[in-house]
């Protein structure tokens, strides 16, 4: 299959799902003119009723998507992670809790596509990577695509899934190009991006590429890393991770979220609980510093995982 830019892969998935199923529609801010790059041409093809530009009312339209999904539609909502805060009541009190609270009577096939724009001088209010907070709340499935294949395949699965899904799209990947290898990707099935024997590296979203770069570099030094892309955090394919750790005996988790109670924390605790006797050295989490995102480039670059931090962590597990 052909190579695709990440944003194009998303666009293709939306268009294909909208063609396939007339109950699918999309809404968000400035999507008709595709300000964020993933909704180009949808307005032209599907018209004003299925491609809705919304007012700046996240709590209102996040909730409207829930209501529409309850009565037979399959809405896709486009947003930016940082705007989710103003819609938290709808995401948590309604999307996450409704089905259980109503004893299974409610079915909510709603998808939120949330762009994470970090690492680009956007400062504290526009750089959030909040998926761990949603992992803590039962009721929402969470996807973290790491390349164009994931972007397309996970979104298609999300639209067809009958539960609420948030796709955390790493905006650092939007312009990246990679081959589309699969069309639909099941939730809860991790991908072994690279096989290795000395240390397992689990990367989240764009950190998968970072982990792969580290693995390729270290290979030259004779260190063999296995790189895992979980693809979804809820459900999390812990078996693939545990099996890898069984083989390598070492684990580094690379996570652009804040370090405390991160996705890395959860993966680390699972391996500590269920794979402890396979470990030959302590687990290392390489996650973001526990500060807000500073504007100055000299400071911002210190916050996130990078090649040096991850390489150092892998080497430390081998000491």
Judged by CB under 8 A, which stretch of 13-21, 60-68, 125-133, 195-203 contacts another protein? 60-68
Q: Decide if residue 107 touches another protein (CB under 8 A).
A: yes
Rounded to whole angstroms, how far apart are CA atoms 294 and 136? 26
- Calculate helix-pair angle for 263-274, 238-248, nearest 10 degrees: 60
Judged by CB under 8 A, which stretch of 1-9, 11-19, 145-153, 232-240 contacts another protein? 232-240
Rounded to whole angstroms, how far apart are CA atoms 284 and 287? 9
Q: Decide if residue 134 touches another protein (CB under 8 A).
A: no
Rounded to whole angstroms, how far apart are CA atoms 118 and 108? 30
Rounded to whole angstroms, how far apart are CA atoms 270 and 215? 23
Q: Which contiguous run of DSSP H or E holds residue 37?
A: none
Q: Taking CB under 8 A as the rule, which mask of x and - marks residues 144-183 in contact with another protein? A: -----------------xxx--------------------
Judged by CB under 8 A, which stretch of 36-44, 99-107, 125-133, 250-258 contacts another protein? 99-107
Nearest CA-CA partner of 54 in 86, 32, 35? 32
Rounded to whole angstroms, how far apart are CA atoms 80 and 113? 8
Q: Whole-number minimum distance, CB 215 to another protein, in Å? A: 27
The answer to whether 125 is a known catalytic residue is no
Q: Residue 151 gets which letter from DSSP?
A: H
Judged by CB under 8 A, which stretch of 86-94, 111-119, 248-256, 303-311 contacts another protein? 86-94
Rounded to whole angstroms, how far apart are CA atoms 165 and 113? 8
Nearest CA-CA partner of 167 in 4, 3, 6? 6
Pick from 31, 65, 84, 117 the residue near another protein by CB under 8 A. 65
* 161/219 with CB nearer another protein: 161
Rounded to whole angstroms, how far apart are CA atoms 51 and 121? 30
Q: Whole-number minimum distance, CB 239 to another protein, in Å? A: 9
Q: Whole-number minimum distance, CB 229 to another protein, in Å? A: 18
Catalogue the active-site residues. 126
**Interacting residues toward another protein by CB under 8 A:** 23, 25, 49-50, 52, 54-55, 57, 59-73, 75, 89-90, 93-94, 98-109, 138-139, 141, 161-163, 187-188, 234-236, 238, 270
């Amino acid at each position: 299959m052909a190579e695709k830019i990440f944003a194009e892969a998303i666009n293709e998935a939306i268009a294909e799902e909208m063609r396939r199923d007339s109950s699918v529609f999309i809404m968000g801010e400035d999507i008709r003119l595709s300000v964020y790059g993933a909704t180009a041409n949808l307005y032209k093809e599907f018209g004003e009723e299925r491609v809705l530009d919304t007012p700046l009312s996240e709590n209102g339209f996040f909730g409207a998507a829930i209501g529409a999904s309850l009565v037979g539609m399959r809405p896709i909502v486009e947003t930016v992670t940082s705007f989710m805060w103003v819609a938290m009541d709808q995401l948590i009190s309604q999307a996450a809790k409704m089905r259980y609270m109503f004893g299974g009577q409610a079915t909510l096939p709603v998808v939120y596509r949330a762009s994470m724009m970090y690492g680009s001088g956007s400062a504290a209010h526009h750089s959030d990577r909040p998926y761990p907070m949603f992992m803590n709340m039962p009721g929402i499935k969470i996807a973290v695509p790491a390349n164009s294949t994931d972007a397309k395949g996970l979104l298609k699965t999300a639209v067809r899934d009958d539960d609420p899904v948030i796709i955390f799209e790493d905006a650092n990947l939007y312009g990246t190009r990679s081959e589309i290898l699969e069309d639909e990707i099941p939730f809860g099935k991790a991908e072994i991006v690279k096989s290795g024997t000395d240390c397992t590296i689990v990367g989240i979203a764009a950190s998968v590429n970072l982990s792969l770069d580290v693995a390729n570099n270290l290979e030259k030094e004779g260190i063999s890393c296995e790189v895992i892309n979980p693809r979804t955090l809820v459900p999390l394919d812990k078996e693939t991770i545990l099996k890898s750790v069984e083989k390598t005996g070492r684990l580094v988790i690379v996570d652009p979220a804040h370090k405390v109670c991160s996705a890395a924390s959860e993966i680390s605790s699972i391996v500590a609980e269920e794979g402890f006797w396979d470990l030959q050295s302590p687990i290392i989490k390489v996650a973001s510093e526990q500060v807000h995102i500073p504007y100055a480039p000299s400071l911002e670059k210190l916050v996130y995982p990078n090649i040096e931090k991850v390489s150092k962590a892998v080497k430390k597990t081998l000491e």
